[in-house]
Structure 1
Amino acid sequence: MQDRNKYTDIKHFLADNSFQLWVCSNDDQYYWEEWTLENSSRAKLVEEARLWLLAMKVPSSNLSSDKIQNALEATWNKIEIKEKNQNKINKPIIKLWGQKWVNRVAAVVLISLLTGFLYNYTNSDNNNSLVYNKLIDDNNEGLVEQTNNSNKPQTITLSDGSSVLLQPKSKLSYPKIFVGNERKVYLSGEGFFEISKNPKKPFFVYANEIVTKVVGTSFKIKAYADQPNVEVVVRTGKVKVLSNQQITNKKDNLIVLLPNQALRFIRKSATFNKITDITQDKVLINSTSNIEQLGFEFSDIPVTQIFKTIEQAYLVNIDFPKAKLKDCYLTTSLSDQPLPEKLKIICKSLGNNTSYEMNGNQIIIISNGCN
């Protein structure tokens, strides 16, 4: 958000997303009403900018691009008609070319600004990007943001050993090193989380409107800004979910989710819908990824098959000495472990100084064979 104290023209207010939300949605999370009262000298500018937006009669949702274009053309036509009528009035006219030019420029600027605003407001992540960005701005841990602009998931390993499978068109912000008595990350989009256990240091995922609190478990959060719902699906362990407003107001209205349970936050009504059996929800079943379907309980299974399962689940490539490991079998449970921990357990079980290196979605296993 820009420094509103520097606003000296209507166009400054019209270009401010938080001002648009306040006027069009009555969303005053950035305290515009309070600021206006404290800055009475700019109250006239604020009111003029507010009237410009309201004059468009912008609906709150479900606007097609054709309707937007028609509304803009109608506004332009009104400006043209008003100018023609003024020229027909038999009164002394001050012929200032600059005045008409200013009106036209103002109209063009307004239409450009509103076109961008309406498109973002009705078709994309305008509201929830504000939530995500506000959460990032309020954090003082020096966050790193990773955006997945590719067409396949990316694996992110956090400093505590936790791992996140970040889906395309998603972004995650997290500290290089977790400090203090909490671990906090921020998600916009979709990610599958496998959290390293640490009861003394709970893990929080802030995903736009909701907060998910865990100690050590695996779960999926789907919080795309341009979709009507936010979903949390638990694979193993237990999670607690609440809204951002609840955690800000220090309310303890937590919703507890167990394995194979889910929670759907419906943005339009700002309500929670708990799903006690995800197999009965067609939307959740159809959106299940490989990592949620595959099992990680292995009993006397070739290690080559275990590596193949990990590749399918995380969409990574594992390079290992096939000849040296072809006769190696393992019995192990990897169901509730982040990806780095899975690899550590496998390497330790194989012995012979087996180790791994991981660079993004590429994993290299170094081994002389199994014990």
Structure 2
Amino acid sequence: MPRGIISVFDHPSLFTSFLYLYKSPIVKDIKNQLSYLLLKEEWNQEDREWMVEYLNSNDINLLREIAKEQYDEDIEKVQQILDKKLSAGILRNIHSRIQVKRKIRKLYRWSFAAACLLLLFSVGIYRNYERNKIPLKVVFTKPGETKMLLLSDGTQVWLSPESRFIYPNTFTGNERDVSLSGEAFFQVAHNTDRPFIVNTGTLRTKVLGTSFDINAYPDRKYATVIVGTGEVSVNSTSQNNDVTDSSVRLLPNQQVVYTAYNDGLRKENFPDAAKILYERRNGHLEYNGTNIERVTEDLSVMYGVKIDLASQLNNYTYYGDFNIHQDSLKSSLKVICLTLNAGLKKQGDVYVIDRKFAGD
């Protein structure tokens, strides 16, 4: 990620720059300038000031045009992502600047799309900031890292690895709005007059005072909200971050599952949710018929490694548990392999699980 983009939120003075200050001879117009910056490995101060001024403009459609032109082969998929407002979560992807070297072409293309989506999300954050004049804080966690935050209203947030959380220094107005990319467990301070609202880009979760978990990583096919105590209302959101008509009310031991490609909110039972969520934030992961792809995605962020599961294994389910603080990475992956009758091989910095490695 170009260095300093987070300072957009932390240092409002950056917004005072003007478009004409940028004098690079490399670019001739706004569209070329956008393409040039999105392909550039690192931004200097002038680059950041130019981009901030562009984000302050009323028309950001050039970003969409660039994404379409660069990815004609993937335009349908990219448009789906744009339409689902997944840009909030793409912050995590572009922050790492796509460090995995395998499948260079595919990852390069994804990083470019991620940059476009990141900027689209930044516009919404910036405009909200300007409208309400509220200083925002941005906290993110590295692979394998967790953090606990105490908000100004007394709400506690446990941030899982590879996640990003945006919240105000002090809550004002009639609602307590925050934004999440990744996963977090919330213990919300009760306030009947000011609901607590979590925006992930695909879901809008509203509560008065309760405990729940939201899992909304941008590169996953799903997002979930699981309720431990209290009551939660969940809506999906449109391209413009508007709340859709569909709403799901959740009580303790229930969850809603959102899938990115059909806009559906599916309500399910989730027994012993309070116990499982408490243990999860302490590194104990429990699964009861969970899709194996979700399990390996969890292990990937918890251990801070890259795990590649062969596509023919994606539809299997898993029953069992892991303790991240006690079980080694290799022992956990070995359990997965035994369950799938597969083998494990490390290729570069990626752990690959495939049946063709069984017996190696």
Q: Greater Rg, structure 1 or structure 2?
A: 1
Question: How does the TM-score come out when normalised to structure 2?
Answer: 0.49
Higher helix proportion (structure 1 or 2): 1
More RCO (CA 8 Å, sep 6+): 2
